[in-house]
Amino acid sequence: MRNRKSIKLLACVAAALAALMGQASAAELSARQSQLLANNCLQCHARLGVGAPQVGDVQAWKPYVAKGEPAMLASAVQGTGGMPPLGYCSACTEDDFRALIRFMAKLAPPATASGNAQGAAK
């Protein structure tokens, strides 16, 4: 049985990750979506050894991202391999899944894909 402690821990992990990943380019989550992430996805996506691409690990997400967002969404909803249907998140809407996936895979929202403005300095 999981207890309150581990839920609290997950919430802390989520908050820390959100802080770490709080870059302008990362997809943003609402407070509610952060909670959904902490209570569901991070059980596996922030735990090594279960075969899940880890939150923010761009390299690990690459093969999934390569299939395209609709395919990732479908796999998340239907489940695939060790990924349970809906990732245990019965409260997640389709929009939530899109946001959670973009957040975990560190995908920028489409509009912010600005070119290479940096790199010339020094």
Count of residues touching ligand HEC (by CB under 6 A): 27
Residue from 14, 29, 44, 55 touching ligand HEC (CB under 6 A): that is 44
Binding mask 1-30 for ligand HEC (x = CB under 6 A): ------------------------------
Its sign, for the CA torsion 99, 108, 42, 75, is positive
CA distance 18 to 9: 14
Task: Check residue 99 for interaction with ligand HEC (CB under 6 A).
Answer: no
**Radius of gyration (C-alpha) of the chain in whole angstroms:** 15
Task: Check residue 68 for interaction with ligand HEC (CB under 6 A).
Answer: no
Nearest distance in Å: CB 113, ligand HEC = 20
Task: Check residue 98 for interaction with ligand HEC (CB under 6 A).
Answer: no
